[in-house]
Chains A and B, each alone.
Chain A
Amino acid sequence: MTEITEVPSPFCGIGTDDLAIQVDGNSLKVTKNGCTVNISAFGQPIVEISPRIDGKEASLDEAVIKAAELLNDANQPVFGGCATDVSGMRALMALADRNGAVVDNIGFNAAKRNFLAMQDSGWMNTTLAEIKNRCDLLLVIGIDLEAFAPRFFERYIWNDEAMFLDDTSSRSIVYLGKVPSGKASTSPKKMKAKVFECSDDDLPQVLTALRTLVKGRPLAAEEVGGIVLKDLQKIADQLNKASYGVVVWGAGALNFPHAELTVQTLCEIVKDVNELGTRCSGFPLGGKEGDQTANQVCGWQTGYPARMRFSSSFPEYDPFLFDSQKMLDNGEADVLLWVHAFNSKAVPPKIDVPLIVLGRSGMKFENEPDVFIPVGTPGIDHAGHAYRLDNVVAIRLKKLRDSGLPSTFEVLTAIEQALQEK
Chain B
Amino acid sequence: MLKKLTGGIVYDPANGVNGKQKDIYIKDGRIIKKPAKDAKIDKEYNIKGKVVMAGAIDLHTHIGGGKGNIARMLMPENHRTDAVAHTDLTRAGCGHAMPSTFLTGYRYAEMGYTAAFEPAVLPINARQAHMEMGDVPILDKGGYVLMGSDDYLLRMMTAKKDQQAINDYVAWTIRAAQGVGIKVVNAGGINAFKFNQRKLDLDEQNQYYNVTPREILKTLATAVKELGIKHPLHVHGSNLGVPGNIETTLNSIKGVEGLPMHLTHVQFHSYGTEGDFKFSSGAAQIAEAVNNNKNISVDVGQIMFGQTVTASGDNMRQYANHGFASPNKWVCMDIECDAGCGLVPFKYRDQNFVNALQWAIGLEIFLLVDDPWRIFLTTDHPNGAPFSSYPHLIRLLMDKSFRNDMLATLHPQAQKMTTLASIDREYSLEEIAILTRAGAAKITGLVGRGGLADGDFADITVYTENQDREKMFSKPVYVFKDGELVARHGKIVKVTWGTTHVTRPEYDKSVEKDLEKYFNQYMTMKIGNFTISDDEITEDGRGSITVHPTVGGKV
Contact = CB atoms under 8 A, between A and B. Distances in A.
Contact of B73 (A281, A299, A316): A299
A346 interface: no
A303 B95 contact: yes
A86 B155 CA distance: 34
Interface string B17-36: 00000000000000000000
A396 B86 CA distance: 31
A261 to B, nearest CB: 15
B515 interface: no
A129 B529 contact: no
Interface string B506-529: 000000000000000111111011
Interface in B82-121: 83-86, 91-95, 98-102
B210 interface: no
A305 B100 CA distance: 12
A134 B332 CA distance: 17
B74 A391 contact: no
B94 A295 contact: no
Contact of A303 (B99, B127, B196): B99
A132 B529 contact: no
A40 interface: no
Contacts of B98: 303
Interface in A292-331: 295-296, 299-305, 310, 312-317
Interface in A109-130: 115, 118-130
B526 A18 contact: yes
A347 interface: no
Contact of B86 (A118, A120, A310): A310
B524 A396 contact: no
A300 B69 contact: yes
A38 interface: no
B423 to A, nearest CB: 39
Given A120-B329, A122-B331, A303 B523 contact: no
B334 interface: yes
Nearest to A115: B73
A279 B192 CA distance: 11
A119 B329 contact: yes
B526 A163 contact: no
B329 A315 contact: no
Contact of B334 (A130, A155, A317, A395): A130
B337 A133 contact: yes
Interface residues of A, number: 66
Contacts of B64: 300
Contacts of A303: 72-73, 75-76, 79, 93-95, 98-100
A144 interface: no
A90 B134 CA distance: 11
A353 interface: no
Range, interface on chain B: 35 or more
B66 interface: yes
Contacts of B124: 129, 392-393
A396 B69 contact: no
B86 A6 contact: no
Contact of B524 (A94, A98, A128, A305): A128
B467 interface: no
A274 interface: yes
A302 B66 CA distance: 15
B419 to A, nearest CB: 38
B218 interface: no
A51 interface: no
B162 interface: no
Nearest to B95: A303
B131 interface: yes
Nearest to A5: B526
Given A130-B194, A300-B100, A314 B336 contact: no
22 contacts: A8-B525, A17-B525, A90-B540, A118-B331, A119-B329, A121-B328, A122-B331, A129-B336, A279-B194, A279-B196, A300-B64, A300-B131, A301-B101, A314-B83, A314-B92, A315-B94, A315-B100, A317-B79, A385-B127, A392-B333, A393-B125, A393-B524
Given A126-B334, A317-B79, 4 more contacts: A123-B331, A134-B194, A303-B72, A303-B79
Interface of A: 6, 8, 15, 17-18, 86-87, 90, 94, 97-98, 115, 118-130, 132-134, 155-156, 160-164, 243-244, 274, 277-279, 281, 295-296, 299-305, 310, 312-317, 383, 385, 391-396
Q: Which 10 A-B pairs have the closest CB atoms?
A: A313-B85, A303-B94, A314-B83, A122-B329, A129-B336, A303-B79, A394-B127, A122-B330, A314-B85, A128-B524
